[in-house]
Amino acid sequence: MPLGARTPGQPGPSPQLRELKQTVRTLLCLDDDTAVMVRQLACTEPGCPPVETIVAVLPMDGAARRWTLHQPADRITEDDLRHALLAPDQANHQDH
Amino acid sequence: MTTTPEPRDERVPVTVLTGFLGSGKTTLLNRILTENHGLRIAVIENEFGEVGIDDALVLDAEEEIFEMNNGCICCTVRGDLIRILGALMRRREKFDHILIETTGLADPAPVAQTFFMDDEIAAQLRLDAIVTLVDAAHVLQHLDEVKPEGVENEAVEQIAFADRLVLNKTDLADEETLGEVVRRVRTINSGVRIIPAQHAEIDLQQVLDVGAFDLERVLADDPSFLTETEHQHDTTVTSVGIDLPGELDENKLNAWLGTLLRTKGVDIFRSKGILALAGAPKQYVFQGVHMLLDGQFGRDWRDGEERRNRLVFIGRNLDRQALERDFAACLATAGAVA
């Protein structure tokens, strides 16, 4: 697939990504109004793995939170998410 | 001859309205909301209390820059938009178009990146155009304003990101100034369509649902879009258009584009392209903002149509020669022994 290509014939997020988002919602008991983003990004930091996956949670009211998992999105399991999201003080909070 | 019907994009178009305070954004916005164009427009505004249309869906938002990745400007999005757009899409049947009015000093990059960062937003909404208004009489002084080290000149960025530039208040500037404004705008963003106006009075069809992020549509409207790039060396923000016949090796293309965006993505504000990949019966169409790319296969190459690659970069300190040379090296025939 060329770089940046969306999967042909697939209008929305991949089933795997949708599942990860749903797991995030379940683990954090989020309501429907809270936006959840899961995005794999290239990491340019020296010494880091080449890709990382960012999980961001943006509630309608309250600060946004963000977690970085140092692995590709398609390798992330529910256990990985549970470990990252539920561990104390793992989130990066951004006030707004 | 048989051709596959071209896929229709059902996503909701989004227009982003940028421009300095006093450029006429609110005047244009009020015209868009009051004129009889048949569109139901949802408005997200960052400048409060200036739009007073009773039956319009107007949502106020406070600009919130959200970093997906510490310190990387390519990975900043607008948290306020992510929240509001998500809520709006649950009321999808109430509107046909979304218009986002930014503050005068807003950086367009996080706004545009919001539409690339999240799959759900990208699947439901398409960035139709970034429309920048400038005040013809005062834009030069904004462009010439010297900023401290590391601080962006917002006027330059707003022009660099623009698909349509409304050159407003032309009645308040003399011919010489207007000529200089156009020249300066073209050096930054050679392909932008400039719409002269007074009191923001323009044909709204020039700014709404124009598909300006769709390079194919842009080229159909303006075949010289990629070739109008001027070789200017007196400015750091410029455009580079490339038009190259031949078919590309996908692996070479991915390696080049991946490296280019990873290493120069901060300086590449916008990119758009229609590419011919070896072995692909369809055109590959992509657009990008900084490091983020969104691409898909478009229409079939037609019988007898020359396979060629057209792309444009707008950004800071672009090395035209290197871009042309390295892109040419992605051709499937590049490096082959004759």
Q: How large a percentage of chain B has pLDDT more than 70?
A: 86
Nearest to B17 by CA among B37, B53, B46: B46
Please indicate, yes or no, whether residues B173 and B245 belong to a single structural domain of this protein. no
pLDDT averaged over chain B? 85
Q: What mean pLDDT comes out for the span A17-39? A: 93
Q: What mean pLDDT comes out for the span B83-111? A: 89
Please indicate, yes or no, whether residues B21 and B107 belong to a single structural domain of this protein. yes
Residue B6 lies in a domain: no
Question: What confidence tier does B7 reach under pLDDT thresholds 50, 70, 90?
Answer: low
Please indicate, yes or no, whether residues B243 and B147 belong to a single structural domain of this protein. no
Query: Does the interface predicted TM-score (ipTM) exceed 0.85?
Result: no
- Establish, for the pair of chains A and B, how many residue pairs have beta carbons separated by less than 8 Å: 97
Please indicate, yes or no, whether residues B201 and B285 belong to a single structural domain of this protein. no
- Provide the whole-model pTM: 0.83
Of B211, B229, B262, the one marking the end of a domain is B211
**Lookup result for tokens 């013809």:** B136
pLDDT score for B223: 58
Distance from CA of A89 to the nearest CA of B (A): 17
Residue B142 lies in a domain: yes
User: What CATH number should be reported for the domain holding residue B37?
Assistant: 3.40.50.300
Full residue range of the structural domain in which residue B19 is found: 12-211
Residue B117 lies in a domain: yes
pLDDT score for B234: 43
Please indicate, yes or no, whether residues B165 and B246 belong to a single structural domain of this protein. no
Please indicate, yes or no, whether residues B190 and B261 belong to a single structural domain of this protein. no
Of B211, B227, B247, the one marking the end of a domain is B211
Angle at which helix A15-28 crosses helix A78-86, to 10 degrees, equals: 40
pLDDT score for A79: 94
Residue B109 lies in a domain: yes
B87: nearest CB among A6, A33, A94: A33
Please indicate, yes or no, whether residues B78 and B199 belong to a single structural domain of this protein. yes
Q: Which residues of B make CB contacts under 8 Å with A?
A: 62, 64, 66-70, 72, 75, 79-80, 82-83, 86-87, 90, 117-120, 122-124, 250, 253-254, 257-258, 261-262, 275, 277, 284, 286, 288, 291-297
Encode pLDDT of B142-201 as tens digits.
888 887 777 778 899 999 999 999 999 999 999 999 999 999 999 898 888 999 999 999
How many CB atoms are closer than 10 A to CB B256?
18
Q: How large a percentage of chain B has pLDDT more than 90?
A: 42
Please indicate, yes or no, whether residues B245 and B200 belong to a single structural domain of this protein. no
Residue B3 lies in a domain: no
Say how many residues make up chain A. 96
Cβ contact (<8 Å) for A37 and B82?
yes
Cβ contact (<8 Å) for A2 and B80?
no
User: What CATH number should be reported for the domain holding residue B309?
Assistant: 3.30.1220.10
Question: What confidence tier does B338 reach under pLDDT thresholds 50, 70, 90?
Answer: very low
Q: Which region among A14-23, A41-50, B95-104 has the lowest average model confidence (pLDDT)?
A: A41-50
Structural domains counted in chain B: 2
B156-194 b/e (C-beta count within 10 Å ≥ 16 → b) = bbbbbbbbbbbbbbbeebeeebeeebeebbbbbbbbbbb
Please indicate, yes or no, whether residues B158 and B276 belong to a single structural domain of this protein. no
Residue B165 lies in a domain: yes
Residue B298 lies in a domain: yes
Cβ contact (<8 Å) for B68 and A3?
no
Q: Which of A46-50, A87-91, B72-76 has the highest mean pLDDT?
A: B72-76
Residue B310 lies in a domain: yes
A54: nearest CB among B62, B69, B250: B69
Show the beta-strand stretches assigned E in B80-171: 97-101, 125-135, 164-168
Contacts of B273 (CB under 8 A, 6+ apart): B215, B284, B285, B286, B287, B309, B310, B311, B312
Please indicate, yes or no, whether residues B69 and B199 belong to a single structural domain of this protein. yes
Please indicate, yes or no, whether residues B81 and B180 belong to a single structural domain of this protein. yes
Cα–Cα distance between B145 and A63 in angstroms, integer? Answer: 35
pLDDT at B55 over 90: no
Nearest to B160 by CA among B195, B190, B128, B121: B190
Cβ contact (<8 Å) for B288 and A4?
yes
Please indicate, yes or no, whether residues B198 and B246 belong to a single structural domain of this protein. no
